[in-house]
Chains A and B, each alone.
Chain A
Amino acid sequence: MKALRFSRKPGRYVAAGVAGRLAAGKGASVGPLKLVDVDDLKLPADDWVRLRPRLAGICGSDLATIDGHSSRYFEPIVSFPFTPGHEVVGDLEDGSRAVLIPILSCVTRGIDPMCGACSAGRTNRCGRIAFGHLEPGLQTGFCADTGGGWSGELVAHPSQLLPVPEDLSDEAAVMVEPLACAVHAARKVAASGPHQRIAVIGSGTLGLLTIAALRSEDPFGTIIATGKYPHQQGLAKALGADQVVSPRTLPRVVRSLTGAFVLDGGQLTDGVEVVVDCVGSEASLTQALQVVAPGGQIVVVGMPGHTALDLTSLWHRESTISGCYAYTRSDFERALELAQEHDLGRLVSATYPLSRSTEAIEHAANAGARGAVKIAFDLRKPAKAKR
């Protein structure tokens, strides 16, 4: 069985870090990611099943790993060698299709009694992700025992599977995992609502899906989104943003919408009640602090990594920054409905066979500039490799 395998090779990891700094996605060609033949995976426990991926998306967190600049925080919660790929729709042995819920919580690890978070149903906050009968790994796609989506086969616990309705395309189904993240964020925002104005920073996959999810969870607020590229701006609008502006002009627009004053240095005196940061970079977080209203909240959906921020305004204006990671099963169920409703298959811009992984990863890393949203590996039949 073919699989893209990420192994612990410090030399290559450093090389990938250097290459990734030179150009996004370049880490794939020199880094520790290799297409290899692997033996069939062992089932970790009797109740586990095999899932043959049909489509497996390339996610921003995958790219960070490949380009060698993910945070060292991850080191204890991944296990090498692993096969990446956590956005997966695949075939079960009985021929039915399922979407993978990649979180490796207590149930999947055979931990009984479950941790507090899992007992409460908040599997995304599971405290046992490095323990139990599985190697460490926060999700499928980062764990040596489970395999990952970028291969011919992976193993999954039944609790990780969600059946896909007949009429949902593979393309739409592969969007369900990132959409579940967005639903999770939208629900969090809606729970603290209602809100008059919400800003969404970033119109990559996560940003666009967050807009769609917010629109369905909080139908009345004004959503202002930033989009760097025209196709992103168009999609953002189509998915429910009221106003889409270039990232540079977000502070101006928020100022104008809220009638705020501006302090020297650019800090607005007023702002939007909620900023959903789907980028997670130093620049985006700084901008979020600039445009959030006093007492408002910043929800970090994009993975931030190691970041330096001036938090004086956070303190002075009593705003909050909160993280927003992954999803629960219920978020996934909602996402499945929304994927159908919004015809999200259209966000899959291109697919590649595993053999062309270098190209695929470069494409994904430059998706915005190349007019794309989601890039995925197509594992359905090898003939399709000729694109």
Chain B
Amino acid sequence: MPRPGFVLDVDKSTPPILFHHGEGFRLEKLPADRTRVIYPGEPLDALDDVDAEIQRALLDPLDMDPLPTLLTPGMKLTIAFDDVSLPLPPMKRPDIRQRVIEAVLDMAATAGVDDVHLIAALALHRRMTEDELRHAVGDRVYDAFAPQGALYNHDAEDPDNLAFLGETKHGEEVEINKRAAESDLLIYVNINIVSMDGGHKSTATGLASYRSIKHHHNVHTMEHSKSFMDRHNSELHHSNWRMGKVIADAGVKVFQIETTINNDTFGDALPMSVLAKREWEWSGKDRVAFVGMQQGLKRLPASTKRKIFQGHRAPYGVTSVSAGAIEPVHEKTLQHCFDQHLVEVEGQTDILTMGLPYICPYNVNSIMNPILVMCLGLGYFFNMYRGKPLVREGGVLIMTHPTPWEFHPVHHPSYIDFFEQVLADTTDPKEIEQKWEKQFAEDEWYRHLYRTSYAYHGVHPFYMWYWGSHALKHLGRVIIVGGDKRAVHRLGFKAASTLNDAFEMAEDVVGRHPTITHLKNPPIVMADVK
């Protein structure tokens, strides 16, 4: 029976707590009697027979007819699936997308469907490589469809393959992938690793064009998404839901499939397994493995460490598969997400600490650059709440990450320019949006790289910054422990060499003897703040 997540009150006997620190770790002794640590729940039990559950979901969907009855020989069928940004870290083979897609295609084969396209719904993310596509959909599907050009990446900048479907009542333009829009049935296969994913956002964002996405990926929306992990209080989701209605009204029939996975990120093989254990339960073997890993990492060059960590594949168990109409499916999925992630927390704190790991949604097989560090900390982790933010308004966020001044030249070209030019000018999201976004978004070279190479869209670093705008507005100060000083300053934050220094610096902002809360993520934990 997996134990749920909980809040630990740190006392004098609490051992040092493990903080993620990029491609490394820190053990930090936290001050007793005023510190809380929010521990994630242990992995929920996985489904025994995933394939049977997939069959069940497809044959008995929510508010829709069984999938086989929706499939007819002459139809146009499009299967869209989540891109390389999900899940994190990537999943051990077989990926759940592959299992679902194979089951769907088996039914399509039985029904005699010939015209099938598979589209990686990557919005403005970089295109997936052949290896990554093979990992996601499996070799069988890849070999059957890719050679004929029926398995490909979505292109949000291809004027010939986008369909304008109308505007929402708020004047938001809805433009999505033409093939998806013109299909008799669009099946969207999700991996809902956090509660932000899925729902109408799948199609309205994943398959949309820049013209459409910019209506909700902006500072105003993000400042009013409190948090974007809580869809009922997220302007980001309200906008996507409005667009979902336009898509439905335009006659696009979507068969939504959402899947959830458990917290089994690090498996049970040492040394990674120690990362999922609670510190006071580390056995001798665990400690030896951890020390060995620390010593090893200390001696390795950064690029080797990166390679090792990026090679990790998580043995996630699948906890649910739901299919059918978007809204009921998503409600069910949210329940499964919350069951795994949500931990009740009493009240806010002065200082929020977090250890940032080596990976975020936008550096799979890549480099976590300073902008992504900001986005992971102030975007994703900060927003891991329901109710109120974990840290009070004007409080301090302290995160640990080496934050090297390093960029992946192929994946993140516009990030480099954003860092060198835009952030050197200002770090204010509103000013950045108004003064710089258009130039980057419409840069033909970025467009070219996005469409033909493996680069994120030119505007993507802006979105990363907007993702953190709610936190930027809320927080009094951000401190990065162990971060490269120049890079941290460019982000507009403060660098500290130790956690204790950071606490000292934070006291300037929040006063003496502040309360501290540590969000022990990953594996994923989301605070339900009362």
Interfacial residues, chain A to chain B (CB-CB below 8 A): 243, 245-246, 249, 252-253, 255-257, 259-262
Contact = CB atoms under 8 A, between A and B. Distances in A.
Nearest to A255: B445
Contacts of A256: 417, 421, 439-440, 443
A261 B421 contact: no
B287 interface: no
Nearest to A253: B421
A261 B449 CA distance: 9
B369 to A, nearest CB: 14
Nearest to B439: A256
A252 B421 CA distance: 10
B420 interface: yes
Interface string B399-429: 0000000000000000011001100100000
Most buried by A among B416, B440, B445: B445
Nearest to B422: A256
A43 B127 CA distance: 77
A245 B424 CA distance: 9
A249 B424 CA distance: 13
A237 to B, nearest CB: 11
B530 interface: no
A239 B436 CA distance: 23
B115 interface: no
A259 B417 CA distance: 12
B444 interface: yes
Interface string B419-459: 01100100000000000000110111100100000000000
A127 to B, nearest CB: 46
B416 A252 contact: yes
6 contacts: A243-B421, A245-B421, A252-B417, A253-B420, A256-B417, A259-B443
A259 B420 contact: no
Given A256-B439, A256-B443, A261 B417 contact: no
Interface string B377-416: 0000000000000000000000000000000000000001
Contacts of A257: 439
State the 9 A-B residue pairs at the shortest beta-carbon distance, nearest first.
A256-B417, A261-B445, A259-B443, A249-B420, A259-B444, A252-B417, A253-B421, A259-B445, A252-B416
Interface residues of B, number: 12
Given A245-B420, A252-B416, A256-B417, A261 B439 contact: no
Chief secondary structure at chain B's binding surface: helix
A253 B440 CA distance: 12
B420 A260 contact: no
A261 B448 contact: yes
A262 B445 contact: yes
Nearest to B424: A245
Contacts of A262: 445
A260 B417 contact: no
A235 to B, nearest CB: 16
A246 B416 CA distance: 13
A281 to B, nearest CB: 22
B457 to A, nearest CB: 14
Contacts of A249: 420
The listed residue with most B CB atoms (<10 A of its CB), out of A257, A259, A262, is A259
Contacts of B448: 261
Nearest to A268: B445
Nearest to A252: B417
Contact of A261 (B416, B440, B442, B444): B444
Contacts of A253: 417, 420-421
A249 B405 CA distance: 14
A342 to B, nearest CB: 24
Given A245-B424, A253-B420, 6 more contacts: A245-B420, A253-B421, A255-B445, A259-B443, A260-B445, A261-B445
Interface string B4-26: 00000000000000000000000
B391 to A, nearest CB: 33
B232 to A, nearest CB: 39
Nearest to B418: A256
B421 to A, nearest CB: 6
Contacts of B416: 252
Contacts of A252: 416-417, 420
A249 B409 CA distance: 13
A260 B446 CA distance: 9
B179 to A, nearest CB: 28
Interface string B491-502: 000000000000
Contacts of A246: 420
B163 to A, nearest CB: 27
A118 B444 CA distance: 50
Contacts of B421: 243, 245, 253, 256
Nearest to B440: A256
Contacts of B443: 256, 259
A259 B442 CA distance: 8
A260 B448 CA distance: 11
Nearest to A246: B420
A246 B417 CA distance: 12
A26 B296 CA distance: 45
Contacts of A261: 444-445, 448
A255 B417 CA distance: 9
A196 to B, nearest CB: 14
Contacts of A245: 420-421, 424
